[in-house]
Structure 1
């Protein structure tokens, strides 16, 4: 029964619904994610003027980093590898499509969070789907806001956090031989010290952690690209051909590529899940749409940059063979691929990157919970 519901909701209903919403919002907003792409950087630059106001509000930049901390997790390393293994290289193309459409969804849900946010007695703000459902749709819809809040607590407070912790612990066990139990205890202690400091402490940690972890991972990906410049066009063609079934990569063909690409894209960037608006609402901005534009950029960072970095590390390595089912999958595939490029220390690098990605996501999840 559980498998049936999972296949129905996650395999069909939810995927179709989120894609339809992304496409619909893109058209209705006249492709806002493309029209205002350059404005994202101007807003982030201007947000520094609001970074130290008297109430200690978060700036757009701080809210962006906190949002990226949540979106970028184990799925950017392990999830992309799974998508390639089960859906073939073409899954990456459909992941890009979902990311671009998801930018419009994120823009609208985060703009709504700003428009319907609520000021607290201490001068800070709270907001998110629970607020804009109850305040925007009226009293008759408070039951939906309550249901959303309960589901948010269950999924982000417990479910998703357990997934991230497990991915980090097993990765460290494989790379360094550290028992899963000890890794879990260490994570719990460090996370506890941070989350009890509230959203401002989480934001301060994210402000340091996110640029380091994302920048380091992107840098190593650029090194890999530099070592394989002549093969990059071939990998692009492999991705596109596999996406449209022009080159058979896995048993499921184009259907498997679309399904895995869409699944991993939605799971990674969280556009439409209603999590990012809770962070977007706490930022201090002159206009609600400003934060919507900034949060759309976080989807771009997650899916179009970091997920793509993992994909090219794998597809340029030769470890994954598109002509046959790969014997290695998940984190192990990413580790083996990077080791093929830079040597055995690449395995340890992936484990440390996964630790930082998972740690930042756990902080974000507990903030939401």
Structure 2
């Protein structure tokens, strides 16, 4: 076991330590510049999806796919991760979280558009796709080994490892705040998880369509209450964020370097842009053009970081609990105590509820990613059934056994490895992404309300024609 931990520790150092973050930032910056700041040009179109929630023949709606992916992106990183970034990097870390999110919006747009283009039709009429599929069908058979490596990493990190972590998060929060026995919390959570995952992507999407808006809006409303109560101090806090980020002021040791490192690391970990996870969900949507869903998924990065992470940052920086340079109060405790300082003791129970919902939404999201990985490794229904049984069991073990999550030391390193695989594939397939974007823009200039993929224009690519047989199956988003 010690040897395995050493190996995975090396993988983690080689990915998250020095390779992954520069690769993500440089590639995202290149996508942004070459595409002409596509995430800003189409920003207005992103919001139209929020009114598009109808049933779809085959896939789920764009809004449902958006909410499932938000459920995965939004989690502990938005509550505890932001607090850690501020503690270790100072208020300036928030600024660099914003920067990496704006860049990541372009990366997410292209990775999700490619997942849509190369998606496949399942026997039950739904769609499935993601980085593994665009590696296999976009790069060709000689890169199948890369798709298998990606699928193994996705299954081990998201499908199993992070599911256990989230189960543990729920149990700890419920025990600390409500005094509930972790065993019973784990049993209840595992049961609810099983009911949902056995319903497939349709049921996952329906649950997310209800849970995610309640979760996100409730937290945002609470943060807005704090901001309104301290509205006169907001300009000074915003100046502090910018001043620390650019070196005009220094809040922690390391100065600008600490702010940049912590902001980018926590930002990337939170919004997942470029990590290759969200495209698996994006591919399940029925949309008229791949870029349509790419634009939608770009919005989920904005919501995750620019809205929800910013809410957490303002709650902390507008309060008295945070002391620059001190690590006495850190993580979720810093956010929780800041809320209590603003609104009273009842706020800690609200935050506990938010943590529960955040963790639960992440569990069902992680399951779907694991299911997509299994479909690449084995088309057998037995393998899928085994996963549907395994995930609730892993959730229970993560919640009920305090030491159970220790065996998932491989999750972070493997997530870093799958991100590198995804970014390599994205760089190689970027010309195809630009081709899709040019087609989308051409149709808009010609007066199209919502561009449609003409499958014959892409006859040279290995695309599932059946997945695009009825392309215009969603209402206009413009």
| TM, length-normalised to structure 2 | 0.74
1:44 CA displacement: 4.4
Is 1:14 equivalent to 2:20 in the alignment? Answer: yes
| Residue of 41, 46, 49 corresponding to 1:40 | 46
Residues 1-369 of structure 1: matches in 2 within 5 Å?
A: 1=6, 3-45=9-51, 47-48=52-53, 51-53=54-56, 55-322=57-324, 324-369=325-370
1:149 CA displacement: 0.6
SS of residue paired to 1:320: coil
**Does the 8 A contact of 1:171 with 1:331 survive in 2?**
no
- Separation in structure 1 between the aligned mates of residue 332 and residue 173 of structure 2, nearest angstrom: 7
**Does the 8 A contact of 1:87 with 1:253 survive in 2?**
yes
Distance 1:243-1:209 versus aligned 2 partners, 3 A rule: same
SS of residue paired to 1:77: helix
1:247 CA displacement: 1.5
**Does the 8 A contact of 1:81 with 1:330 survive in 2?**
yes
CA deviations over 1:252-290 (Å, ceiling 9, x no partner): 221111111111111111111111111111111111100
Q: Runs of at least 4 residues of structure 1 off by over 6 A?
A: none
SS of residue paired to 2:309: helix
Structure 1, unmatched stretches of 5+, are none
- Separation in structure 1 between the aligned mates of residue 11 and residue 284 of structure 2, nearest angstrom: 35
**Does the 8 A contact of 2:62 with 2:285 survive in 1?**
yes
CA deviations over 1:131-177 (Å, ceiling 9, x no partner): 11110111111111111111100010122222222222222222222
- Separation in structure 2 between the aligned mates of residue 235 and residue 44 of structure 1, nearest angstrom: 31
- Separation in structure 2 between the aligned mates of residue 256 and residue 159 of structure 1, nearest angstrom: 29
- Separation in structure 2 between the aligned mates of residue 12 and residue 59 of structure 1, nearest angstrom: 38
- Separation in structure 2 between the aligned mates of residue 179 and residue 84 of structure 1, nearest angstrom: 32
Aligned-pair Cα RMSD in Å: 1.4
1:123 CA displacement: 2.2
1:5 CA displacement: 4.3
**Does the 8 A contact of 1:62 with 1:203 survive in 2?**
yes
1:43 CA displacement: 4.5
| TM, length-normalised to structure 1 | 0.95
- Separation in structure 2 between the aligned mates of residue 87 and residue 182 of structure 1, nearest angstrom: 38
SS of residue paired to 2:251: coil
- Separation in structure 2 between the aligned mates of residue 185 and residue 244 of structure 1, nearest angstrom: 48
Structure 2, unmatched stretches of 5+, are 1-5, 371-478
**Higher mean C-alpha displacement, 158-167 vs 12-21:** 158-167
- Separation in structure 1 between the aligned mates of residue 168 and residue 96 of structure 2, nearest angstrom: 27
CA deviations over 1:272-310 (Å, ceiling 9, x no partner): 111111111111111110000000000000011011111
- Separation in structure 1 between the aligned mates of residue 183 and residue 326 of structure 2, nearest angstrom: 32
- Separation in structure 2 between the aligned mates of residue 118 and residue 258 of structure 1, nearest angstrom: 40
**Higher mean C-alpha displacement, 155-164 vs 142-151:** 155-164
